[in-house]
């Protein structure tokens, strides 16, 4: 597969540009600045985005995206073909597949676009749908830098220092009402994530939270998705059973994605696993203290020096195993290798600097 020529975009400025990046939350958040960069480079371009139905609210927060196309995973062949037919009817002259899977390759090909571009991380045969791939976008490049290579190819080299997400005023006001009476600093605790192997124990998060609350006299904001309410409830219960006087609210499952973005923007620090909310917090310019067990903080973490990213030192680190390869006493040993004191000290370093 040939690489994209240096002068490609000068020779083929887009009129209608489609990004295909359906999931997951963290990856979509890291890719969203590209819509902003494209509008900066070509103010009159119309930008479309293919997104998983459950993440539609995320791309709606980008005022630089004009058209949104929902992908319903698991909805069957006819639903997928309907999407492909719709994409073909929209007359996109340039398509960028940022996902690089078989299904997104088929979406890319179905557009009939004259300029179909992908990344070097593409797999499952998706590269057959592309005319060219962007150089320096292999898996050796951190995800956030890999996406930004596209903007650099357009001539937009400077990374943004303000969020590429704009939260509606009504959501901002609601979130402010939740937090206005709480003593500062505001310490976010987000113990959930999708992989078992990335899920540092909730008991450890609770201990970190208690340590930070004691040292700062601040407030704890427990965060989680709608399917993580048991987890956030357990975290709150563990904290409250030891220190019933601590200022704390459990917002697990109670905030929409726009409200979560607003919440994260108001925190002084977010303590979390490698997760979508980690990237959303970073995009909202909130420093994170994040635990990395089976993933690599360099490859998968957010950019910037304001964050504290803590990784296990075990030989199996950064193996990206969804199921722990170790057995017996070594099973999920990475959870014990990263200590409560490490994480609490890292979070305090952030809190002490502000």
* pLDDT for res 354: 74
Q: Where in the chain is the domain with CATH 3.40.50.2000?
A: 8-154, 169-352
Q: What φ, ψ does residue 43 adopt, rounded to 5°?
A: -55, -25
CA angle centred on 309, ends 250 and 171, rounded to 5°: 35
Please name which of 152, 216, 163 lies closest in space to residue 352, comparing C-alpha atoms.
Answer: 216
* pLDDT for res 213: 97
Is it the case that residue 220 has pLDDT exceeding 90? yes
Backbone region of residue 19 per phi and psi (left: phi > 0; alpha: psi in -120 to 50; beta: other values): beta
Q: Residues near 264 by Cβ (< 8 Å), separated by ≥ 6?
A: 188, 270, 277, 280, 281, 284, 286
* Mean pLDDT of the region 192-198: 94
- Cα gap 112→87, rounded to integer Å: 9
Give kind and range of the element (H or E) at residue 49. strand 46-52
How are beta strands 247-250 and 219-222 bridged, if at all? parallel
Say if CB 189 and CB 218 are below 8 A apart: no
Per-residue pLDDT tens for 226-264?
Answer: 999 999 999 999 999 999 999 999 999 999 999 999 999
* pLDDT for res 291: 98
Please state which CATH class domain 169-352 belongs to. alpha beta
DSSP-derived 3-state class of residue 158: coil
pTM: 0.96
For residue 91, how many C-alpha atoms fall within 13 Å in the half-sphere facing its CB? 3
Name the architecture of domain 8-154.
3-Layer(aba) Sandwich (3.40)
β partners of residue 189: 222, 271
Per-residue pLDDT tens for 299-339?
Answer: 999 999 999 999 999 999 999 999 999 999 899 999 999 99
β partners of residue 219: 186, 247
Q: Residues near 123 by Cβ (< 8 Å), separated by ≥ 6?
A: 100, 101
* Mean pLDDT of the region 103-116: 98
* pLDDT for res 49: 98
- Cα gap 107→114, rounded to integer Å: 14
* Mean pLDDT of the region 27-36: 98
* Mean pLDDT of the region 108-131: 97
Per-residue pLDDT tens for 58-81?
Answer: 999 999 999 999 999 999 999 999
Per-residue pLDDT tens for 145-170?
Answer: 999 999 999 999 899 999 999 999 99
β partners of residue 46: 16
């Amino acid at each position: 597969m040939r690489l994209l020529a240096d002068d490609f975009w000068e020779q083929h400025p887009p009129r209608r540009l489609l990004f295909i990046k359906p999931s997951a939350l963290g990856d979509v958040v890291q890719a969203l600045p590209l819509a902003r960069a494209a509008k900066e480079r070509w103010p009159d371009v119309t930008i479309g985005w293919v997104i998983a139905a459950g993440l539609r609210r995320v791309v709606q927060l980008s005022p630089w995206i004009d058209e949104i196309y929902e992908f319903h995973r698991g909805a069957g062949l006819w639903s997928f073909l309907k999407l492909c037919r719709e994409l073909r009817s929209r007359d996109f002259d340039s398509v960028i597949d940022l996902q690089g899977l078989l299904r997104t390759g088929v979406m890319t090909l179905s557009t009939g676009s004259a300029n179909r571009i992908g990344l070097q991380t593409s797999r499952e045969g998706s590269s057959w749908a592309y005319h060219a791939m962007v150089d320096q976008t292999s898996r050796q490049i951190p995800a956030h830098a890999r996406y930004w290579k596209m903007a650099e190819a357009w001539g937009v080299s400077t990374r943004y220092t303000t969020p590429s997400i704009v939260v509606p005023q009504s959501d901002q006001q609601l979130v402010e009402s939740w937090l206005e009476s709480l003593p500062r600093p505001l310490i976010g605790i987000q113990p959930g994530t999708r992989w078992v192997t990335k899920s540092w124990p909730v008991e450890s998060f609770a201990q970190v939270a208690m340590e930070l609350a004691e040292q700062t006299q601040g407030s704890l904001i427990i965060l989680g998705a709608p399917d993580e309410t048991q987890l956030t409830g357990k975290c709150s219960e563990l904290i409250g059973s030891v220190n019933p006087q601590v200022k704390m609210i459990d917002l697990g499952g109670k905030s929409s994605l726009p409200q979560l973005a607003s919440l994260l923007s108001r925190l002084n620090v977010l303590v979390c696993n490698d997760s979508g909310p980690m990237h959303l917090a970073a995009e909202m310019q909130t420093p994170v203290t994040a635990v990395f067990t089976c993933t690599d903080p360099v490859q998968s973490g957010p950019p910037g020096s304001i964050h504290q990213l803590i990784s296990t030192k075990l030989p199996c680190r950064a193996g990206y195993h969804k199921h722990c390869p170790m057995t017996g006493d070594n099973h999920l040993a990475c959870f014990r290798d990263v200590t409560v004191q490490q994480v609490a000290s890292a979070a305090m370093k952030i809190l002490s600097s502000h």
